[in-house]
A and B are shown apart, each in its own frame.
Chain A
Amino acid sequence: MIPVCAVPDLPVGEAVRVEAEVPIAVFNADGVLYAIDDTCTHQDASLADGWLEGCLVECPLHATCFDLRTGRPTGPPAKRPVRTHEVVVENDYVYVRVSVPADSPVVGHGEVA
């Protein structure tokens, strides 16, 4: 598991970026924590810098929204989902369990939505 930050350091509406094999962004969406790959699947932008609204984060560069629950883009220009990761809170500290090895191809996230 990758250590992220203490729970109070990730208040509602905020995001942090953690350097892993590929960078990961962890969000606090109205009290629920989500983790996704930080780099937009369209071009080079950090989703931790994006605008958070409900369970959607809007990419700061071209405004594709990604659903934090599924990683799916809600529309163009991004075509592919970002990976989602499990968030674990232990002793008031936030960790991320990376879902699949970073180099294995993303095959989508099933019909979660």
Chain B
Amino acid sequence: MRAITVVGASLAGLSAARALRSQSYDGRIVVVGDEPHRPYDRPPLSKEFLAGKASVEDLALSTPDDDELDVDWWLGHKAIALDASRRAVRLDSGEELVSDGVVLATGARARTLPGSGLAGVHTLRSLDDALALRAELAEGGPLVVIGAGFIGAEVASTARALGLDVTVVEALPTPLAGPLGPEMGALVAALHTDNGTRLVTGVGVAGFVGAGRVRAVRLADDRELPAATVVVGVGAVPNVDWLAGSGVEVDGGVLTDARCATGVPGIVAVGDCALSYNRFAGSALRLEHWTNAVQQPEIAAATLLGRRADVRSAAPYFWSDQYGVRLQFAGHRRPGDAVEIAEGDPAERSFAAVYRRDGRSVAVLAVNRAKLFGRLRRELAVPEAEVVR
């Protein structure tokens, strides 16, 4: 390997460059990113940064040690096509980068709703999104958040702390039932009402009201919720469109095995764009978690460099901060898993709950119980027989 191109200059892309160097790769590394910014951290965008408690400098992901990575940054360049057989990445500027290895790390973008083009309607994925939203929240409410997922809930929590009137609308009967299950989803969603955020569940959004600028959100039952600002938090779509026809298999994410290898030699995928075989789930998963975007690149770098990576990595993990409460979740929940409180009291918003399947713990949720969580996550069982493909 003399030259490796990393596409996507965010957490997974930077982590890939670090992992390649720490695994003694000394060839050329080019990192291509379509944003003008050096890699920055996204989780604070809905938390401290949106609250005005963190600055743009605080978001920088690079550490002083990264100066030694010797990376050729191609920022403000978008990859528009890949010729997998030649490992050639074509850029919007017309250049073509041909290398021995390619790391696909293009992440995901916020899903939108029809009518999202109206002024005052926002999504939150990038620094520029966060700057725009922060400026509007400073003008006051009411704010309507569409979608009670983690990002929607965090935006609602931050806006409440800024003193805004906030309503969260969720189409599902129970928020977060997918990742956490209905019981824990309901417990966590109660944080909204505890903190003076209105929560409307089980009703979809029919559209936006307003000419030029949003005035209200119209619900499927014809109710109208007045809104000065709207945040659409209805999930993310992987940035894989540019790979159509490339020879790399894409199925709502770049398909890889547990070692992050695509079907094409010399091409790996990592982070939010990768749909990778996961032994905790026993199937391919696209994880949209910070820690996954740090861990996968280490495996992918080994794969690219022709080493056998240790894929017995930790269980999937994410955290979320809402209304001054820290949630942490590890493992993989499936419908039908039994969940019970292991310690603490949900009424006090401080507890740990363990999810069990066939008597074994397969996932753990902690609410303000970081220490116990650290132990419980290490006790999780791999549900499937250990199949390393």
Binding site for B on A (CB under 8 A): 43, 45-46, 48-51, 58, 60-63, 76-77, 79
Are B63 and A79 neighbours in the complex by a CB distance under 8 Å? yes
In the bound complex, what is the Cα–Cα distance between A98 and B64 (angstroms)? Answer: 27
Are B370 and A62 neighbours in the complex by a CB distance under 8 Å? no
Are A61 and B64 neighbours in the complex by a CB distance under 8 Å? no
Beyond A50-B374, A76-B65, 5 additional contacts (C-beta under 8 Å) are A49-B370, A49-B374, A63-B291, A76-B18, A77-B61
Are B374 and A61 neighbours in the complex by a CB distance under 8 Å? no
What 1/0 flags go to B327-338 for Cβ under 8 Å of A? 010000000000
What 1/0 flags go to B38-50 for Cβ under 8 Å of A? 0001001000100
Instruction: Say if the beta carbon of B373 comes within 8 Å of chain A.
Output: yes
Are A60 and B291 neighbours in the complex by a CB distance under 8 Å? no
Are A62 and B371 neighbours in the complex by a CB distance under 8 Å? no
In the bound complex, what is the Cα–Cα distance between A70 and B63 (angstroms)? Answer: 18
Interface size class of B (residues with CB under 8 A): 20 to 34
**Using Cβ atoms and an 8 Å threshold, which residues of chain B touch A48?**
371
In the bound complex, what is the Cα–Cα distance between A48 and B18 (angstroms)? Answer: 28
Q: How far is the CB of B58 from chain A (nearest CB, A)?
A: 9
Are B18 and A46 neighbours in the complex by a CB distance under 8 Å? no
What 1/0 flags go to B279-297 for Cβ under 8 Å of A? 0000000000011001000
In the bound complex, what is the Cα–Cα distance between A99 and B375 (angstroms)? Answer: 31
In the bound complex, what is the Cα–Cα distance between A79 and B59 (angstroms)? Answer: 12
Instruction: Say if the beta carbon of B319 comes within 8 Å of chain A.
Output: yes
Assuming the contacts A76-B63, A77-B61, A79-B63, asked whether A46 and B290 have C-beta atoms less than 8 A apart, the reply is no
6 nearest interchain CB pairs? A49-B370, A49-B371, A60-B370, A79-B63, A51-B374, A76-B63
Question: A14's closest neighbor in chain B, by CB?
Answer: B371
**Using Cβ atoms and an 8 Å threshold, which residues of chain B touch A77?**
41, 61, 63, 294
In the bound complex, what is the Cα–Cα distance between A57 and B9 (angstroms)? Answer: 30
**Using Cβ atoms and an 8 Å threshold, which residues of chain A touch B44?**
43
Are B18 and A61 neighbours in the complex by a CB distance under 8 Å? no
Q: Which of B64, B65, B290, B374 contacts A62 (CB 8 A)?
A: B290
Are A46 and B63 neighbours in the complex by a CB distance under 8 Å? no
Are B373 and A60 neighbours in the complex by a CB distance under 8 Å? yes
In the bound complex, what is the Cα–Cα distance between A76 and B370 (angstroms)? Answer: 20
Q: How far is the CB of A78 from chain B (nearest CB, A)?
A: 8
What 1/0 flags go to B360-389 for Cβ under 8 Å of A? 000000000011011100100000000000
**Using Cβ atoms and an 8 Å threshold, which residues of chain A touch B294?**
62, 77
Are A60 and B374 neighbours in the complex by a CB distance under 8 Å? yes
Question: B53's closest neighbor in chain A, by CB?
Answer: A44
**Using Cβ atoms and an 8 Å threshold, which residues of chain B touch A51?**
374-375, 378
Give the one of B65, B370, B378 with max A CB within 10 A. B370
In the bound complex, what is the Cα–Cα distance between A49 and B375 (angstroms)? Answer: 10
Q: How far is the CB of A38 from chain B (nearest CB, A)?
A: 12
Q: How far is the CB of B252 from chain A (nearest CB, A)?
A: 27
Q: How far is the CB of A53 from chain B (nearest CB, A)?
A: 11
What 1/0 flags go to B44-88 for Cβ under 8 Å of A? 100010000000000001011100000000000000000000000
In the bound complex, what is the Cα–Cα distance between A76 and B373 (angstroms)? Answer: 21
Q: How far is the CB of B23 from chain A (nearest CB, A)?
A: 14
**Using Cβ atoms and an 8 Å threshold, which residues of chain B touch A46?**
370
**Using Cβ atoms and an 8 Å threshold, which residues of chain A touch B18?**
76
**Using Cβ atoms and an 8 Å threshold, which residues of chain B touch A60?**
328, 370-371, 373-374
In the bound complex, what is the Cα–Cα distance between A24 and B370 (angstroms)? Answer: 17
Are B370 and A61 neighbours in the complex by a CB distance under 8 Å? yes
Q: How far is the CB of A20 from chain B (nearest CB, A)?
A: 20
**Using Cβ atoms and an 8 Å threshold, which residues of chain A touch B378?**
51
**Using Cβ atoms and an 8 Å threshold, which residues of chain B touch A62?**
290-291, 294
